[in-house]
Structure 1
């Protein structure tokens, strides 16, 4: 199984029926109603996106955007990890190569990693009351 197939399989296991409805709703402008009704599982959704050139092994910006507007940082983070580890693409590489839009997903990376001591802002104690 390729890394890409493994990514889609992992995402499919996480996406529930309710999630799928939300994801389909988020991309309703790109999926006609009659097609949307035929999509009953996440594998159908991924297949539709691939057939319509919205998703490919090296074309992930569309689902990153959908996961972001659907407020699913867990799914978004998995896609970002795939992009940075398997494809070896960072946000800077994407800007340079024009492969995808500039993802705003970078903000979600900080949710997962714990801040270092340098990242933590230390506040002075409050003034003592007289």
Structure 2
């Protein structure tokens, strides 16, 4: 299981740019002291720090999910959900069992009609000739 966890962290690292790493450090600023921010130069430094302060672990991704959501990376949140499915052996994790922001990104009911998920938008009819100002 530790190998799967390490693989996940490596995948996350491979998909986070240096600029996004800086944004991720800023998103985690409530758990990182100012002097520690300067020490975080690589992805693994951030992950180690989050593990040290108990914000990240094999079965603890809520904080990192939230931080990734802040930097607009729902695709990486989805990778974490796939890891959970692999580790737990459960093919489908019910939405009520998903905590944190990941709930938004992992659909559980494949039978849901996409059209039903969106509100119907009705456009106003185009203006009639009477509504248009006439040139004199």
The answer (yes or no) to whether the contact 1:67–1:73 under 8 Å persists in 2 is yes
Structure 2: 5+ residue stretches without partners = 124-136
The residue aligned with 2:102 is 105
Higher gyration radius (CA): 2
Structure 1, residues 100-120: CA drift from partner, whole Å, max 9, x if none?
A: xx323222235xxxx768333
The answer (yes or no) to whether the contact 1:77–1:109 under 8 Å persists in 2 is yes
C-alpha change, 1:51 and 1:86, in structure 2 (3 Å) is same
Which of 114, 119, 122 does residue 114 from structure 2 map onto? 119
The answer (yes or no) to whether the contact 1:54–1:62 under 8 Å persists in 2 is yes
**Shift in Å, 1:58:** 0.8
Using structure 2 for the length normalisation, give the TM-score. Answer: 0.71
**Between Structure 1 and Structure 2, how many residues are aligned?**
118
Which of 87, 97, 113 does residue 93 from structure 1 map onto? 97
**Shift in Å, 1:69:** 1.7
What's the Cα RMSD here? 3.1
Distance in 2 between the 1:70 and 1:36 partners? 17
